[in-house]
Homo-oligomer: A and B are copies of this chain.
Amino acid sequence: MKRIALYHLETLLWIARLGTFRAAAERLNTTQPAISARVREIEDQLGIAVFRREGRNMVLTARGRRLVQECEPLWAGFEKALLTASGFEGATGVVRIGSGEIAAASCLPGFVHAVERELPGVTLELELDLTARMFQQLLGGTIDLAFLAGPVASPGIRTAPIGAVGLVWVASAATVRAGGFDQSLPVWSIPDHSPLHGVTVGSLSAHGIVPRSLGTCNNVRTLIDIVSGGGGAAVLPEPMVRQMLESGALAEVLPRPDRTIQFEAAIRRTESDPLVLELFRRAGELRIES
């Protein structure tokens, strides 16, 4: 009984969350046989069946479910006790972070740097994806913490604002020299998932402009490449193009839109891992500014 370690319980909790041994193995950075072995150890030690075969999946038995329920708060409390004891300096573990591309450009460098400086021992695994998919991944347990653009709200998700960045209308210097912003200039934007899209459309109609075309690209870096290559104009986050504006590669072609892009950090509302909560707290202390 005493030979049950914390990672046994952690394993149990992640299997319960993710549904399969394999997913838990991936989440815990190990292999499926190792997960099987841990489960078998738990069952041997306790002398009960925690899982029951159901088709090709394993499902918690009644006792197993109860055990998980009882252990979850205990495990969280335990992690918290250990982490606070070491002032989070001895924090160890892997935290998966998802981020939208715009948020990544603005938030991730500073955040990652701060974590690596203040919490060595914590490994971050970053994954850039669309905001929409991020929610699934958060709720599904594939990621623990997300950085998103635009005010979002969803049941089961807890968010904290971490700042905003201004927007600018830019086009390549060559485009400006060739006549500036007129109706013949293509406009590029991000698919309508993103708040950037709304700002682009709104700003165009506010200026009474109907562009020749409104192209979209789901990758902001590529979009910048397109614009800087003379492909048209776009509304972009100021920090992402600041350098190119300063170097003259890009130029502003319309007044800056009033609206800003809000950034938020997000976690599961039911998150109990103290390390994730601590990272969320620290993320909330980030102040992103133009």
Contact = CB atoms under 8 A, between A and B. Distances in A.
A4 interface: yes
A45 to B, nearest CB: 6
Chain B CB within 10 A, most for which of A46, A66, A87, A89: A46
Interface stretch (A74-82, A99-107, A207-215, A251-259): A74-82
Contacts of A206: none
Contacts of A46: 82, 85-86, 90
Interface size class of A (residues with CB under 8 A): 35 or more
B5 A2 contact: yes
A91 interface: yes
Given A66-B85, A70-B81, A6 B2 contact: yes
A86 B47 contact: yes
A67 B85 contact: yes
B1 A90 contact: yes
A140 interface: no
Contact of A71 (B4, B48, B78): B78
B78 A74 contact: yes
Chain B CB within 10 A, most for which of A2, A3, A48: A2
A132 B74 CA distance: 38
A219 B92 CA distance: 57
Interface of A: 1-7, 9-10, 45-48, 63-64, 66-67, 70-71, 74, 77-79, 81-87, 89-93, 121
B66 A4 contact: no
Chain B CB within 10 A, most for which of A1, A46, A86, A92: A1
A90 B3 CA distance: 13
Contacts of A7: 2-3
Given A1-B121, A5-B6, A70-B84, 4 more contacts: A1-B83, A63-B85, A70-B77, A78-B78
A67 B82 CA distance: 7
Contacts of A90: 1, 45-48
Contact of A48 (B2, B85, B92): B85
A34 to B, nearest CB: 13
A3 to B, nearest CB: 7
Contacts of A9: 78
A91 B1 contact: yes
A32 to B, nearest CB: 18
Contacts of A83: 1
Contacts of A67: 81-82, 85
A84 B48 CA distance: 11
Nearest to A8: B5
17 contacts: A1-B82, A2-B6, A3-B5, A3-B7, A4-B6, A5-B5, A9-B78, A45-B82, A46-B85, A46-B86, A48-B86, A48-B89, A64-B85, A66-B85, A67-B85, A70-B77, A74-B78
